[in-house]
């Protein structure tokens, strides 16, 4: 298929551990979407959470993707090298009155009531920066989950986009990166459905376009818990059986035995026969 300059997707793992079956499914789903449409597929390392980064996980994930035949386009972007971009976005929001410094401690903010919205009360120092939410409903059409609506002022309240001692929040970094990398389509796990309205609000506040969203079903273990590095899901290694199982999880047609066990051949077959309508919701 001809290269399609209008489609640009991405896989954005956090290097907090090796690729497990759940993250493989996300990588595979976003890859198949991009490649079946002749688009580009980028990889971005979301390594801002330094406490959770694991030494070696970054190169481990990349080697594993390569092993499965999931080859990315262009250089791998690392969030830790892009801090200036996130701080520039934060400055824009502050300058336009769309974010504000907040002096409340974590304990005080469980149900944040906007204490610092109109300015830091005397005697308080900034501990974080919050995005100012409003009463407008944010709605978007997810390609799998359909119409999703959220009133941020009621459901998340003014949320933290940066801590005063440095760390940029995931919500802000992902929005800046998706925009600056020209991502047209975000395909990722359904655990992030909930974050999407916050990201759309940030996109609007920063004058960025909103990509299309396609949230993939979550892989759960026998106890019904989402596979994750936190629940110690085991690492996958590039093997045809694992790839076939991941394709089956995404509802894709079985790869005939004559395609063989070469992972690149299996991926090629999967791209050619990919049909997003065969993917079904998990929640
Ligand atoms: N880094 C996030 C994760 O590992 C994914 C972010 C995204 O795809 O927007 O869950």
Residues 165-202: tens digit of each pLDDT: 889 999 999 999 999 999 999 999 999 999 999 999 99
d(CA 167, CA 97): 21
pLDDT, tens only, 74-114 = 999 999 999 999 999 999 999 999 999 999 887 766 668 78
Residue with tokens 């996130």: 86
**What is the pLDDT of the chain when averaged over all its residues?**
94
Whether 90 and 204 map to the same domain: the answer is: no
Whether 13 and 134 map to the same domain: the answer is: no
Residue 195 CA: which ligand 1 atom is closest? 9
d(CA 252, CA 153): 39
Give every CB contact of residue 244 below 8 A, 6+ residues apart in sequence. 254, 255, 266
Whether 17 and 140 map to the same domain: the answer is: no
Greater confidence, 198 or 124? 198
Domain boundary among 163, 198, 227: 163
Tell me, what CATH number does 147's domain have? 3.90.800.10
How high is the pLDDT of residue 113?
Answer: 76
Whether 226 and 97 map to the same domain: the answer is: no
d(CA 240, CA 256): 12
pLDDT at 283 over 70: no
Categorize the per-residue pLDDT at 2 as very low, low, confident or very high, splitting at 50, 70 and 90: low
Whether 30 and 99 map to the same domain: the answer is: no
Pair 103, 116: CB distance under 8 Å: yes
d(CA 198, CA 151): 10
For 62, the domain range is 8-82+181-278
Distance 273 CA to ligand 1 centre (A): 26
Domain count, the chain: 2
Does some domain include residue 152? yes
Whether 221 and 204 map to the same domain: the answer is: yes
Whether 191 and 274 map to the same domain: the answer is: yes
Does some domain include residue 13? yes
Helix/strand/coil for 217: coil
Residue nearest to atom 7 of ligand 1 (CA): 12
Categorize the per-residue pLDDT at 282 as very low, low, confident or very high, splitting at 50, 70 and 90: confident
Domain boundary among 163, 192, 207: 163
Does some domain include residue 67? yes
Residue 10 CA: which ligand 1 atom is closest? 8
The stretch 216-242 carries a mean pLDDT of 87
How high is the pLDDT of residue 132?
Answer: 96
Pair 255, 266: CB distance under 8 Å: yes
Whether 220 and 271 map to the same domain: the answer is: yes
Residue closest to 169 by CA, chosen among 159, 157, 179 = 159
Residue 75's Cβ-side half-sphere holds a number of Cα atoms within 13 Å equal to 4
Catalytic site residues?
229
Whether 15 and 133 map to the same domain: the answer is: no
Does some domain include residue 31? yes
Whether 137 and 250 map to the same domain: the answer is: no
Does some domain include residue 3? no
d(CA 238, CA 263): 8
> Is the whole-model pTM more than 0.85?
yes
The distance between the two most distant Cα atoms of the chain, rounded to a whole number of Å, is 73
d(CA 49, CA 47): 6
Distance 115 CA to ligand 1 centre (A): 30
Domain boundary among 163, 195, 223: 163
The stretch 119-142 carries a mean pLDDT of 95
Residues whose beta carbon lies within 6 Å of some atom of ligand 1? 12-14, 46, 174, 188, 192
Whether 138 and 266 map to the same domain: the answer is: no
Whether 68 and 128 map to the same domain: the answer is: no
How high is the pLDDT of residue 183?
Answer: 98
d(CA 61, CA 106): 33
């Amino acid at each position: 298929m001809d290269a399609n300059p209008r489609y640009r997707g991405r896989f954005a793992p956090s290097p907090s551990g090796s690729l497990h079956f759940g993250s493989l499914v996300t990588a595979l789903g976003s890859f198949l979407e991009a490649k079946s449409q002749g688009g580009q597929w980028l990889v971005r390392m979301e390594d801002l959470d330094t406490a959770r980064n694991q030494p070696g996980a970054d190169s481990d994930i990349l080697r594993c993707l390569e092993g499965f035949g999931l080859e990315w386009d262009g250089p791998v972007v690392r969030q830790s090298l892009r801090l200036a971009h996130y701080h520039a976005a934060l400055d824009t929001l502050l300058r336009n009155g769309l974010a504000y410094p907040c002096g409340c401690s974590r304990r005080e903010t469980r149900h944040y009531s906007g204490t610092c919205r109109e300015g830091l009360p005397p005697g308080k120092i900034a501990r974080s920066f919050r995005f100012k939410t409003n009463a407008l409903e944010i709605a978007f059409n997810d390609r799998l989950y359909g119409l999703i609506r959220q009133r941020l002022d009621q459901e998340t309240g003014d949320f933290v986009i940066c801590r005063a001692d440095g760390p940029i929040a995931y919500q802000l970094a992902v929005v800046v990166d998706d925009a600056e990398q020209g991502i047209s389509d975000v395909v990722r796990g359904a655990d992030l459905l909930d974050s999407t309205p916050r990201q759309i609000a940030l996109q609007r506040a920063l004058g960025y376009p909103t990509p299309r969203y396609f949230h993939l079903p979550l892989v759960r273990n026998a106890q019904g818990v989402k596979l994750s590095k936190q629940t110690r899901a085991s690492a996958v290694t590039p093997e045809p059986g694992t790839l076939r199982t991941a394709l089956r999880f995404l509802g894709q047609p079985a790869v005939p035995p004559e395609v063989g066990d070469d992972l690149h051949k299996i991926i090629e077959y999967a791209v050619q026969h990919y049909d997003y309508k065969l993917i079904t919701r998990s929640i």
